[in-house]
């Protein structure tokens, strides 16, 4: 059954009040729409853990770095509602823009530290936009649990830090990245790639996994990063913005896998910026 689409905060709160009175656990899956199997896996996780599930769809202007990117972002509300219908979601919250950013809105949430590197460094203001909208969505939905994909691992840490720092009573749950058979991480950006580029993009994950396994075997990142970048370029990528090894808990840069770590990459293919990351096991001492 298709879930009701709610556009006004007052209507969402009226429904939410009944759930809370009944002692139900509420989960939220924040999205910007253009739903794919990665989002649907978050919905499945939320359904398994919670009595009630809200999926939010809001293309957040504050997190885009260019007006063209915002304008080109796919808006597919009807298709998204159809995709959600088999999952028994309780509400699809598609807030009117003024419900999120009413006239005169003048506040912003900034998370320091985990935003200093990678996406935070390359996309100024992006995480302020994410943290601000997610704080609002957490407060508006009153959810007990929120589900985010590890595909955007840095975003997951930013949102977790923000909720802790602001005492928002919500558990932020990270869910594994969903991949195509090739290993390519699911992303709404993939739909902008040609068939040939999709094949090239599929080569990224095996390169990351090889590098992760060399690091787990005791390899040194400084020695391994050059050859790995050459492999990514040979796969057909036009530009590598970063390939970084960071601690999994706070994203401090590492040269060896001395603790649970992650490898992160951002690279361009056919004018599309792709990001991915994989876990790196700590190397045996």
Interface contacts to ligand PAF, rule CB under 6 A: 30-32, 60, 63, 130, 133-134, 152, 155
Q: What are the respective helix, strand and coil percentages of the chain, to the nearest 5?
A: 45, 20, 35
39 or 205: whose CB is closer to ligand PAF?
39
Rounded-to-integer distance, Cα 255 and Cα 184, Å = 26
Q: Which is nearer to ligand PAF, 92 or 130 (CB)?
A: 130
Cα separation, 25 vs 5, in Å, equals: 20
CB of 59 to ligand PAF, least distance (A): 8
Antiparallel, parallel or unpaired: β 26-31 and 239-247: unpaired
As a whole number of angstroms, the distance between CA 4 and CA 257 comes to 47
Report whether 266 contacts 118 (CB < 8 A).
yes
In sequence order, the 6+-apart residues with CB closer than 8 A to the CB of 143 are 26, 27, 28, 54, 170
Distance CA 93, CA 58 (A): 8
Among residues 81 and 133, whose Cβ is nearest to ligand PAF?
133
Say how far apart CA 110 and CA 13 lie, in whole Å.
26
Rounded to an integer, what distance in angstroms lies between the CA atom of residue 149 and that of residue 174? 6
Distance in Å, CB of 281 to ligand PAF, minimum: 26
Is 39 designated active site?
yes
Count CA within 13 A, CB hemisphere, residue 78. 0
Minimum CB separation from ligand PAF for residue 173, in Å? 13
Shortest Å, Cβ 283 to ligand PAF: 31
Both structure tokens of 29: 């899956």
Residue nearer to ligand PAF on the CB measure, 168 or 199: 168
Least Å distance, CB 63 to ligand PAF, is 6
Q: Which is nearer to ligand PAF, 122 or 203 (CB)?
A: 122
Rounded to a whole number of angstroms, the minimum distance from the CB of residue 204 to ligand PAF is 19
Q: Which two tokens stand for residue 256?
A: 């060896």
Q: Which of 16, 36, 39, 78 is catalytic?
A: 39
Nearer to ligand PAF, 155 or 244 (CB): 155
- Determine contact, residues 212/263, Cβ cutoff 8 Å: yes
Q: Which residues are designated catalytic?
A: 39
């Amino acid at each position: 059954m298709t879930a009701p689409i709610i556009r006004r905060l007052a209507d969402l709160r009226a429904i939410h009040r009944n759930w809370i009175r009944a002692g139900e656990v509420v989960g939220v899956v924040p999205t910007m729409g253009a739903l794919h199997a990665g989002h649907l896996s978050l919905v499945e996780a939320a359904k398994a853990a919670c009595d009630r599930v809200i999926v939010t769809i809001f293309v957040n202007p504050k997190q885009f770095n260019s007006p063209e990117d915002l304008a080109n972002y796919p808006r597919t509300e009807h298709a998204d509602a159809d995709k959600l219908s088999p999952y028994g979601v309780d509400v699809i919250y598609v807030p009117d823009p003024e419900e999120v950013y009413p006239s005169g809105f003048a506040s912003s949430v900034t998370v320091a530290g985990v935003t200093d590197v990678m996406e935070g460094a390359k996309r100024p203001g992006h995480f302020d936009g994410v943290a601000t909208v997610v704080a609002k969505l957490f407060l508006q939905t009153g959810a007990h649990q929120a589900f985010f994909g590890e595909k955007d691992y840095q975003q997951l840490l930013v949102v977790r830090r923000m909720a802790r720092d602001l005492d928002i009573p919500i558990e932020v749950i990270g869910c594994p990245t969903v991949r195509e058979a090739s290993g390519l991480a699911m992303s709404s950006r993939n739909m902008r790639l040609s068939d040939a580029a999709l094949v090239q993009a599929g080569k990224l994950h095996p390169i990351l996994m090889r590098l992760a396994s060399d690091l787990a075997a005791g390899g040194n990142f400084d020695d391994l990063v050059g050859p790995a970048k050459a492999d990514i370029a040979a796969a057909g990528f036009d530009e590598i913005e970063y390939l970084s090894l960071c601690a999994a808990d706070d994203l401090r840069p590492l040269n060896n896998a001395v603790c649970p770590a992650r490898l992160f990459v951002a690279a361009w293919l056919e004018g599309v910026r792709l990001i991915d990351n994989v876990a790196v096991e700590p190397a045996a001492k």
